[in-house]
Structure formats: C-alpha cells, structure tokens
Amino acid sequence: MEEKNQLIVLAPLKKRKKIAENTYEVSFKLPHVFVFKSGQYARITLPSLLAPDPRGNQRDFSIASSPNSRSLSIAVRDTKSGFKKTLLEGENVQAEIQGPFGLFTLPEDASHHLIFIAGGIGVTPFLSMIRFVMEEKLPYTITLLYVNKSQDSAAYLKELRKLDGENENFLLKEHVGHLTKDVIKEKVERSEDSLFYLAGTPQMVNDTKDMLLELGIELKNITMEEFSGYLKDVEPQAATVLSKESSHVKPAKKDKKLGAGIEGELARRSLSDLEALLQALNNTAIVSETNAAGTITFVNDKFIEISKYSRQELIGQNHRILKSSFHSKAFYENLWATITRGRLWRGQIKNKAKDGSYYWVDTSIAPILERGEPIKYISVRFPITERQQAEEQLQERAKQQSVLTILSQEALANPDMTSLFDNACRLLAQTLGVEYCAVLKLLPGGIQLVYDAGVGFNAEKGKTIVSAESQESMAGYTLASKEPVIIEDLSNEARFSGSDLLHDHNIMSGISVIIHGQEHPYGILEVHTMQKRIFTAEDINFIQAVANLLANAARNQLDKRKDEFLGIASHELKTPLTSIKTFIQLLHKHSRRQNDEHSLLFLSRINTQVNKMAELINDLLDISRINSGKLEYHDNLFSLSELVEDIIREQQLTTQRHKIIFEDKVKQQIYADKFRIGQVLINLLSNAIKYAPDADKIIVRTEKQGDKITLSVHDFGIGIPKKEQQHIFDRFYQGDIKKREDFPGGLGLGLYISSEIVKRHKGQIWVESEEGKGSIFYVSLPIKV
C-alpha cells in the first residue's frame, strides 16, 4: 500500500561530515515536494558506482534530518563496499531518492512519554524525530537511552548533548557497554503510559524487548525497528527491505490498537494458546489458517461473512480465490518471501468477495515455526473502514498533485523535452503502480507514431514505430475517438488489434490519453500493466492532467523555437538589406551624374520597396526583442504635441487622399520613450490610411484627463467587426482572409508591438469601431512629470 504513495526525486549530494569513528553523515538537497515524516526511511539509488558492489546500487536508510530541513541526511558506516565508496568519495554524486518507506515515526498522541532506546547508529531515526519535535516545539517529552560500544563510535553525540542542554522536554542518557535490565531501570524513568521505541541491530532490539517485557512493559507499548543500516554489508538487498517492512509494531493508533497488538501476541504465544486468542477475535477480526503450501485449513465466521463464500468453498482453496488483481505480482512475491522466511508480514490488501465486490483489509500474517521452518500461517485481518479508505484516497490525490507540481517546475526549468517526458513517465508509472508508461509522438502525415519517451518498454526511443491506424493500435484508436481509452484485457480487445509494442511486453490493462497540440495532436501518453487492473476515473483524470501539462510544455517549447527563429531570420535579413541600400545610393548618384532619368525613376521605386521591407524587418526585430525582453526604452521629457505634429507631417507625405487633422487640446510634456511613442502613432496612422481607402480625413486628438493623456486616431474606413476587435492586438493577427487579400503588405505585428510599448509605459490601448463606419484607436499614457 505504502509503495503507492512514494515518490522518486533526483537529489544532488550536498555535504559529507564525520560524526563518529568510521561514521559519516551524508546530506542530499531535496526539492520541496518531497515530504517525509521524521524517522521514516528512504531508498537511495546511486546511478553509477565507483566500484562494483555485489549488493547493487540501492540501500534503504533511515533519515537523520528533521523533515523541516530541505536536506535529507543519513548516517553511514564506511564498510568499504562499492556503494559506500561512491557515497563517501564520489564527485558530483546525484542520487535517486525514493520514499518514504516504513512507519517508524512519532505516535499521533503527544501525551505519552516517549522512551527511545538506540543501539549505535540505530539512533538516526530518533535524531530525526527529536530534531523535528524540538524545531516544531511539539508537546512530546522524550528520553533517549543511547547505547554504544565505545564513546568514539557514538554518532551524533555532540549534537544530542547540545539538544539535551537546550531543551526541557528532551533528556539524553548515555550508556557505554552492554545494555541490561538494571541499566534500563536505573537510567530511564518510566510511567504507565510510556511508549518505548527500540532501534539498533536485530539482536539488540530483540534482547531489549525481552528485558522490557520482563520489566512488565506491555508489548503494545513497544515499537521496534531492526535498524538495517547497521547490518554488515553482506545481507542481500531484499532481506533488509523485508525485515524492515515486517519487523516493526505500529505505534498504538486508537482504531488499530487491536491490529497492532495482535502481531506481537501471535509471535509470542505458543500454538496451544492461539485457539483461545482466535476465539476472542472472532467477532472483530477475519481469521484464517493455511498450511505451509498456502491451502486454507481454517476460517472463522467473520471470514465467511465478509468474503461471502461458504466455509466449504473456502477450505482446501488457496487465498488466491480472494485476489482482486489490484496488487502487483511483486506485492504478493514480497508477502510470500517475508512469511516463508519466518517473518511476520503486515499490510493492507484489497480483496474480492464472491459477489464481485471489493473490500480492504488490514492484514497480519504470522508464520508458525517448527525448528525454524514455517509449518502453517495464521492470518488476522481487520476490515478497513470507509473513512480510512477516503483518507488513503486523499493521500493519493496529494501525491498526484505533487507529481504535477514537480513536473511543472521541471517544465519551466528544463528545456529538454525528452528528459521531461521520461521523468513524467517514471513518476506516472510510480504513482499509479504500473510497470509501463510511454509517450508516443505523432509523426508528420499522421499515420505513424514514434516511441519518444517512456519507462518499462524495451524499445528504442525515436526509432520504434507504432501505427496510428484506429483498428491497429490503442494509440491510433485513442486519436480517432478523441477521448481517453481504457483496456482491461488486451487479449480480449475487439476495438483494435494492439501494437507489437504492447503484445511484446505481455500487456494486459492500460489507459491512453491524447497529448493535445496546437493544430494536430502532439501524440499519446499511455500507461500499462501486465496485471489485470481496473483504472478509476481519478486515474484517468490524473493521466490526462499530466498529458495536458506535457502538451503545454511542448507548445511553449515550440513557441520558443519560433521566437528564436524569428530573431535569427530578421537579423540575417537586415544585413543584406543595409548593403542593398548602400548600392541604391551609389547607383542613384551615378544615374544623376549621367542624367539617366529612367534609371532614377526605377531606383526611387526600388527605394520605396526596400524601405517597406526594412519596416517589416524592423517589426520582426522588435518582436523578437520583445519576446526576449530586450526591447530597450530610453525615457525622456518631451512635448507630445510636437512629436504628433512631426509624425503627421511625415505621414501626410504618404497619402494625397486623406487630410490628417490634429485637434490638440493639451500642450503637455510627457516623460516617455519618444521614439517608441512615435512608433505607436506611426502604426496607428498608417493603419488609418491603409484601412480607409475611400475616406478623405483622419482626425488625431490629444486630451488630458487627470494625470493621463489620451491620444486618439479616428479614421472613417472599413471598421473592425466586433469579434475581431479582441484579437487585433495579438501577434500576427490580421482579421479574416478576405481583408488580408484586400489589404496586402502587412504582417499583423504593428498593433501588437504598439500594445507592448504602451503596456511598458503603464498605459492602455484600445479601439472603438463600427464596421463600415470607421475606427477610433485610443492610447492613454501617464504623464509622469
């Protein structure tokens, strides 16, 4: 269950510090979205090792840092393994951090006195809890009995002593040497409701537990953790993980009290005691017993009531009869590996009743051992209430939300789409607990998709092709149906045959959604699993949300590339244009000398066209400067009236038809960029001339309202339809096609650039217009003098 709520993040190694003999603290810098509770475990994967390590490149560690600190610190004994070598000596180490694992953390009820007993480096989870309690000023009182072989080997001793000195509610008791009952009695003051937490080597934890029981402490008040980090680097990886998951007793949470207690009871009592115990549980718990092969030999009444099978139907069967296909194969393998090793397994399982309905149970399975070998298994389950389920769903949502947050941050920071897509796939697969996830990109032409990014698939990125035909592939079908597509069993799928990519990977269930593009879909995002899985509406929403985020990132990326192209293209166009202009001038001089009227006429026409071209290129350059935030402004105090008069004079030269009238009501100076404000007015006037071919006048007005000046350009031309008015200030917008054909020669940039300039001056630009009657463009600017 817990695995579903885990996240993986990439974290750089920040610091290494010696904290005791042969012991180091290693800290990683964590992103904000990665949330731990104090004391919990993290799995650390080092992508490449400095030296080979038979145990591989992963280890689980308890965190030593408070979850408040943005770095995750762990304590490491240097065992000279390849893994530790990399961790302690590697340069620029980046680790994949996964978690949280495990439940070894503070109880919810702060009223208990907490007694932590730590052996050696087992102190790490406690340090994390203590740091957290002190930083947050939480009302726990804590005594830590810290047992070490020698003072030199005691990690974090300085810091613990300091915390002891600074905090009233924390007491450190040190002990060097072997822990005995007498030491506990002498050093620890306990009361009825003290809760004991033990962490250290399995041996130390077990011995301490026995001592506490002998001292009359109830087992339900003892929480244990065999601290795997302390083990010599010899045990295979799986064993350390399993031992951690199965070995601790949960802190007494009220509604789970019985569940927590029962584990210990089962482990402690002899076989003959069990029957009485099971009897007592009959009304609340679902109890069953299987033989060593897993065949059911006993079920209680509650089992029958909840599973809706009769006793006859159950006895002689395997628990597989209840399997809901919700959990992965690995989940059951893990369960079996744990109990066949003689360890207790605890977890939450979704089961299927005879009538097809589902129910969740909090399950403990205890092996009964004879000479170290399991001879039977007793399982005790408590139905999980709806509230708990709702809580879990809520947690799941929160995790999904955090995945979306990570991805959007990454999309902003990382221009590399492929790595963003790969990460999205990894996080999606992980959050949903599936093995496969892929981004298939639609290729130009729309008849094929290419495997672009993903996890789980053994396929070459950028090379493996999937058909986009709707009968052939799930992706093709999704594109055609334009909505998310779900498969429950690919082998029974009637709508499409399914791509080789899916069949080759034995895929059974999955969902695919469209990653929308601007005009065509960008591609498909799909998740798959080899197990039968029924995806929920929430799963679909989550996947679609990730797809939308990716679509957005791809779009932004495309826009960015277009902008870059624009910048380069306009710059490159400008250079030859400058030399063309120089040659025109030379030719002009030459023709004048020769009195070549003909050439002079042609040259002046060429010159007009080249000037037009230069204007267009200047517009393009402005756009790319605006996009990259590099359009420069030089503000000065100047007379607006004089500027308007100059520009009218200039523009009047370009038209004989229109008389440009200036009604100047203010003779006001303003503080602004004169050149850029002039550019705005030139744009408005040239539009007024261009879009009013049959009119005979244009009126320019200036008016003062409070601390603002409003400049308006009124033409009596074709006007602008209502629905176009909201778009005319957009980049490259030119109204409908007909207008574009009737009034060629623009790029749809003038008004966009004008509005950017006005915005930069903290002013406003807008239009009032009626089709067939004309338009008034207004620009209002703060005077600022």
Q: Measured from the CB atom, is 532 or 740 closer to ligand ADP?
A: 740
Q: Does 651 bind ligand ADP (CB under 6 A)?
A: no
Which of the stretches 19-27, 395-403, 455-463, 730-738 binds ligand ADP when contact is defined by CB under 6 A? 730-738
Q: Does 731 bind ligand ADP (CB under 6 A)?
A: no
Angle ∠(582,583,586) on CA atoms, nearest 5: 90
Q: Does 697 bind ligand ADP (CB under 6 A)?
A: no
How many positions of this chain bind ligand ADP (CB under 6 A)?
Answer: 22
Q: Mask 529-548, x = binds ligand ADP (CB under 6 A)? A: --------------------
According to CB under 6 A, which one of 20, 749, 765, 779 is a site residue for ligand ADP? 749
Name residue, tokens 């403990």. Answer: 364
Give, for 662, the enclosing helix (H) or strand (E).
Answer: strand 659-664
Which of the residues 709 through 728 are near ligand ADP (CB under 6 A)? Answer: 715, 717-720, 728
Sign of CA dihedral 35, 38, 43, 48: positive
Would you say 654 and 621 are in contact if contact means Cβ atoms under 8 Å apart?
no
Q: Measured from the CB atom, is 647 or 688 closer to ligand ADP?
A: 688
Residue 272, SS3 per DSSP: helix
Q: Does 778 bind ligand ADP (CB under 6 A)?
A: no
Min dist CB 769 to ligand ADP, Å, is: 7
According to CB under 6 A, which one of 231, 748, 766, 780 is a site residue for ligand ADP? 748
Give, for 95, the enclosing helix (H) or strand (E).
Answer: strand 94-101
Nearest by Cα to 129 from 117, 142, 120, 119: 142
Q: Measured from the CB atom, is 216 or 744 closer to ligand ADP?
A: 744
Q: Mask 306-345, x = binds ligand ADP (CB under 6 A)? A: ----------------------------------------
Q: What share of the chain is helix, strand, coil (3-state, %, to 5)?
A: 40, 25, 30
Amino acid letter for position 604: S
How would you classify residue 595: left for phi > 0, otherwise alpha for psi between -120 and 50, otherwise beta? left
Q: Does 756 bind ligand ADP (CB under 6 A)?
A: no
Give Cβ neighbours of residue 582 (< 8 Å, ≥ 6 apart): none
According to CB under 6 A, which one of 752, 757, 763, 765 is a site residue for ligand ADP? 752
Q: Does 620 bind ligand ADP (CB under 6 A)?
A: no
Q: Does 213 bind ligand ADP (CB under 6 A)?
A: no
Which of the stretches 91-99, 251-259, 476-484, 749-757 binds ligand ADP when contact is defined by CB under 6 A? 749-757
Please tell me the distance from the alpha carbon of residue 146 to that of residue 463, in angstroms, as a whole number: 58
Which of the residues 653 through 692 are near ligand ADP (CB under 6 A)? Answer: 683, 687-688, 691
According to CB under 6 A, which one of 251, 484, 735, 763 is a site residue for ligand ADP? 735
Dig out the tokens for 617 from the structure.
Answer: 């290129």
According to CB under 6 A, which one of 67, 259, 498, 746 is a site residue for ligand ADP? 746
Please tell me the distance from the alpha carbon of residue 40 to that of residue 125, in angstroms, as a whole number: 7
Min dist CB 409 to ligand ADP, Å, is: 35
Q: Measured from the CB atom, is 451 or 752 closer to ligand ADP?
A: 752
Query: Of all residues in this chain, which one has the CB nearest to ligand ADP in the complex?
Result: 746
Would you say 435 and 414 are in contact if contact means Cβ atoms under 8 Å apart?
no
According to CB under 6 A, which one of 26, 751, 765, 781 is a site residue for ligand ADP? 751
Would you say 411 and 549 are in contact if contact means Cβ atoms under 8 Å apart?
yes
**HEC readout, 471-515:** CCCHHHHHHHHCCCEEECCHHHCCCCCCCHHHHHCCCCEEEEEEE
According to CB under 6 A, which one of 62, 288, 570, 734 is a site residue for ligand ADP? 734
Nearest by Cα to 681 from 629, 638, 742, 724: 638
| List of residues contacting ligand ADP (CB under 6 A) | 683, 687-688, 691, 715, 717-720, 728, 733-735, 739, 746-752, 775
